[in-house]
């Protein structure tokens, strides 16, 4: 029996069409509106985007998933497979994905270009430096950090309190040694020493602004509103006070244009904006999504990690801010992952265990219930593995039927779009039924602490939140400002509904401890940091970097 090809081997064997040719034939985009990055990637000009004007908008479909496990679920793979399948059944569909971060590509999670025969290509480029967007975001972030320290060095005319500097530096790599540092050591010429730290680039507020901005002017406005620190009188000091927004926007002027690539089946796809729905809002850019909606009848997008994180933030932050109204949700699951939620060890997943599927269904069932709270109908897509038995699959379908949600098998990993046609037909049926009645989970005018409590109770099913007096006072202060109307962006572990990653399935009887809140005034949301989650991840004991290599001809191996 032949050894199955790896994802990178499949991607490297693909026949890609020149991106300018593909854009012209499939999307009717003239070459003058494309800025090619080699032969296979291009950015779309603002002239073209502006020219879409008030064209009819397509239908927006979100792909989300159950709580992730080491067994794998396949959210990006499903997004690509579904987009290919919609095109196969005669629908004009576009895919909108998030850009991978180098941190997980060289760490534990791997890349984010899909898998098997449902991938976007060129896979190596997308998972590595791509078009340089993340580098531009990191440099813009760190320019602001340099300007803060430079302002203090040259007299501190704005009266920044060095104990209350809120702006941190970033790098797009998992590097735990940089979480907490002391900068400006080495004498008077280097400035005033103070405690500082790094976050991973995707956790930067600049990334969030990049993903939520609607054009360059909106980008610049939001950058100017970033709060970099406070005076001794607790008055906020913003990036605009340092005149930083213009130079930051200049660094981002090309990056903010959506990136156009293709699937293995030569269907166009936008890849733009940031991942990490555990510590960020985890959605692709508003600009890419709204552009796609003006170009296609169906737009398939994804949000990071499980529906309790990515989908909730997609609904409560991205859709609220951009005025989007999704028509359908696809919740991705696997028999293997459900068995892990049901208590089966990873090494035993190949053995039939219907009882574990039943126990693990509690996790999927909760996600189904949660999505319904936003008024958007859902379908469950199950990525079928060869070791999954008919008895396990039949029982899962029964459980989904009892929960009032349709369950559809999919095999796009092995068959590409052809393997997801049943899911595509189910999505079309939902969309054409007109059953969606999207609504956010909470209103703008709800107090911030109650917004955090509402997400924790309604989505995580916590008994309550634990808030220190200092955090409670800070929330009350922010309620008296324009931030009181902001949505909340929860930062917590992706591995459980709770803040304890060991609690699988659908735990109850826990509280959500909120250890810190951070104002993202430019992104226009509040970050609530729950439990022990870190905004700078670390590499695992054996990182993916150990096996990534390049040969003398420049051919990359080891990416997945």
Judged by DSSP in three states, 547 sits in: coil
Does the structure show a pLDDT above 70 at 416?
A: yes
Q: Which residues have a catalytic role annotated?
A: 75, 77, 98, 109, 277, 305, 385, 413
- Judge if 341 and 327 occupy the same domain: yes
Q: Within 233-377, where are the H helices?
A: 245-252, 286-293, 312-313, 320-322, 335-341, 354-372
| Top-confidence residue, 191 or 499 | 499
Residue 508, token pair as written in the block: 């109850």
Local confidence band at 541 (pLDDT 50, 70, 90 cut-offs) = confident
| C-alpha pair distances (Å), 440 with each of 314, 322, 324, 431 | 10, 12, 11, 19
Does the structure show a pLDDT above 80 at 174?
A: yes
Task: Say what the alpha-carbon torsion angle 491, 494, 495, 497 is, to the nearest 10 degrees.
Answer: 60
Mean pLDDT computed over every residue of the chain: 94
Boundary (domain end) residue, out of 252, 271, 294? 252
The pLDDT, as a whole number, for residue 457 is 98
- Domain with 319, as residue range(s), is 7-131+255-433
Judged by DSSP in three states, 198 sits in: strand
| Beta-carbon contacts of residue 537 (< 8 Å; ≥ 6 apart) | 103, 104, 107, 174, 176, 200
Are the CB atoms for 116 and 217 separated by under 8 Å? no
The pLDDT, as a whole number, for residue 540 is 86
- Judge if 393 and 525 occupy the same domain: no
Burial of 76 (0-12, 13-18, 19+ CB in 10 A): buried
Q: What is the DSSP string of 475-502?
A: HHHHHTSGGGGS-EEEE--SS-SSS-TT
- Judge if 110 and 184 occupy the same domain: no
Calculate what percentage of the chain has a pLDDT beyond 90: 84
**Residue 429 backbone class (left: φ over 0; alpha: ψ -120 to 50; beta: rest):** alpha
- Kindly report the length of the chain: 560
Say how far apart CA 360 and CA 75 lie, in whole Å: 18
Does the structure show a pLDDT above 80 at 1?
A: no
Local confidence band at 6 (pLDDT 50, 70, 90 cut-offs) = confident
Local confidence band at 109 (pLDDT 50, 70, 90 cut-offs) = low
Examine residue 186 and state whether it is found in any structural domain, yes or no: yes
| Top-confidence residue, 308 or 1 | 308
- Residues 137-147 have pLDDT tens digits of 999 999 999 99
Examine residue 553 and state whether it is found in any structural domain, yes or no: no
The pLDDT, as a whole number, for residue 56 is 83
Residue 358, token pair as written in the block: 């039943």
Q: Tell me, what CATH number does 269's domain have?
A: 3.40.50.300
| Beta-carbon contacts of residue 274 (< 8 Å; ≥ 6 apart) | 98, 99, 101, 134, 137, 202, 207, 208, 210, 211, 280, 282, 283, 284
Task: Say what the alpha-carbon torsion angle 431, 437, 409, 357 is, to the nearest 10 degrees.
Answer: -170
Does the structure show a pLDDT above 90 at 556?
A: no
Does the structure show a pLDDT above 80 at 110?
A: no
Examine residue 546 and state whether it is found in any structural domain, yes or no: no
- Judge if 175 and 219 occupy the same domain: yes
Does the structure show a pLDDT above 70 at 75?
A: yes
Burial 254-277 (b: 16+ CB within 10 A, else e): ebbbbbbbbbbbbbbbbbbbbbbb
The pLDDT, as a whole number, for residue 418 is 97
Say how far apart CA 411 and CA 409 lie, in whole Å: 7
Q: Tell me, what CATH number does 452's domain have?
A: 3.10.410.10
| C-alpha pair distances (Å), 232 with each of 40, 71, 202, 228 | 52, 50, 30, 14
Boundary (domain end) residue, out of 406, 433, 460? 433
Q: HEC states along 428-482?
A: HHHHHHCCCCCCCCCCCCCCHHHHHHHHHHHCCCCCEEEECHHHHHHHHHHHCCH
Backbone angles phi, psi at 228, to 5 degrees: -95, -20
- Judge if 321 and 429 occupy the same domain: yes
The pLDDT, as a whole number, for residue 2 is 60
Q: Which residue has the tokens 């990036």?
A: 239
- This prediction has a pTM of 0.94
- Judge if 248 and 272 occupy the same domain: no
- Judge if 322 and 468 occupy the same domain: no
Are the CB atoms for 530 and 513 separated by under 8 Å? yes
> Is the four-CA dihedral 90, 91, 92, 97 of positive or negative sign?
negative
- Judge if 329 and 365 occupy the same domain: yes
Local confidence band at 379 (pLDDT 50, 70, 90 cut-offs) = very high
- Judge if 235 and 154 occupy the same domain: yes
Examine residue 545 and state whether it is found in any structural domain, yes or no: no
Say how far apart CA 325 and CA 208 lie, in whole Å: 20
Residue 556, token pair as written in the block: 């990359």
- Judge if 43 and 102 occupy the same domain: yes
Q: What is the DSSP string of 286-303?
A: HHHHHHHHTT-SEEEEEB
- Tell me how many domains the chain contains: 3
Judged by DSSP in three states, 353 sits in: coil
- Judge if 454 and 421 occupy the same domain: no
- Residues 20-58 have pLDDT tens digits of 999 999 999 999 999 999 999 999 999 999 999 877 899
């Amino acid at each position: 029996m032949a050894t199955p090809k790896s994802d990178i081997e499949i991607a490297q064997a693909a026949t890609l069409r020149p991106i300018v040719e593909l854009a012209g034939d499939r999307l009717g985009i003239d070459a003058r509106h494309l800025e090619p990055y080699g032969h296979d990637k291009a950015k779309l000009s603002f002239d073209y985007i502006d020219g879409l004007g008030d064209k009819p908008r397509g239908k927006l479909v979100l792909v989300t998933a159950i709580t992730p496990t080491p067994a794998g679920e396949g959210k990006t793979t499903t997004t690509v497979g579904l987009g290919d399948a919609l095109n196969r059944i005669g629908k004009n569909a576009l895919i909108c994905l998030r850009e991978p971060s180098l941190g997980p590509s060289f760490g534990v999670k791997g890349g984010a270009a899909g898998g098997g025969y449902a991938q976007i290509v060129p896979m190596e480029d997308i998972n590595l430096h791509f078009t340089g967007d993340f580098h531009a975001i990191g440099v813009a972030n760190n320019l602001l950090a340099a300007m803060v320290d430079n302002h203090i060095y040259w007299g501190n005319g704005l009266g920044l309190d060095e104990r209350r500097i809120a702006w941190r530096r970033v790098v797009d790599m998992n590097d735990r040694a940089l979480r907490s540092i002391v900068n400006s050591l080495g004498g008077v010429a280097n400035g005033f020493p103070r405690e500082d730290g790094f976050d991973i680039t995707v956790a930067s507020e600049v990334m969030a602004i990049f993903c939520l901005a609607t054009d360059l002017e909106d980008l610049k406005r939001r950058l100017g509103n970033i709060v970099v620190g406070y005076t001794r009188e607790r008055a906020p000091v913003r990036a605009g006070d340092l005149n930083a927004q213009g130079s930051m926007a200049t660094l981002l002027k090309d990056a903010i244009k959506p990136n156009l690539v293709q699937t293995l089946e030569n269907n166009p796809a936008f890849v733009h904006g940031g991942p990490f729905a555990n510590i960020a809002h985890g959605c692709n850019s508003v600009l890419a999504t709204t552009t796609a909606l003006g170009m296609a009848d169906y737009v398939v997008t994804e949000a990071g990690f499980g529906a309790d994180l990515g989908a909730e933030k997609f609904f409560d932050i991205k859709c609220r801010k951009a005025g989007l109204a999704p028509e359908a949700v696809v919740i991705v699951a696997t028999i293997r992952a459900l068995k892990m939620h049901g208590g089966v060890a990873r090494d035993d997943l190949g053995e039939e265990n219907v009882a574990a599927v039943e126990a693990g269904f509690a996790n999927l069932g909760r996600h189904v219930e949660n999505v319904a709270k936003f008024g958007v109908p859902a379908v469950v897509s199950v990525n079928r593995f060869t070791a999954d038995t008919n008895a396990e699959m039949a029982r899962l379908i029964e459980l989904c039927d009892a929960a009032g949600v349709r369950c559809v098998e999919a095999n796009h990993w092995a068959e590409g779009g052809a393997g997801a046609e049943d899911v595509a037909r189910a999505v079309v049926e939902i969309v054409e039924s007109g059953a969606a009645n999207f609504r956010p989970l909470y209103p703008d005018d709800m107090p911030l602490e109650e917004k955090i409590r509402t997400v924790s109770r309604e989505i995580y099913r916590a008994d309550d939140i634990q808030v220190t007096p200092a955090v409670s006072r800070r929330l009350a202060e922010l309620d008296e400002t324009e931030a009181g109307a902001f949505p909340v962006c929860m930062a917590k572990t992706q591995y459980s509904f709770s803040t304890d990653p060991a609690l699988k399935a659908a735990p109850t009887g826990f509280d959500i401890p909120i250890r810190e809140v951070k104002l993202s005034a430019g992104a226009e949301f509040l970050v609530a940091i729950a439990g022990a989650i870190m905004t700078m991840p670390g590499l695992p004991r054996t990182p993916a970097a150990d096996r990534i290599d390049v040969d003398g001809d420049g051919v990359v191996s080891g990416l997945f």
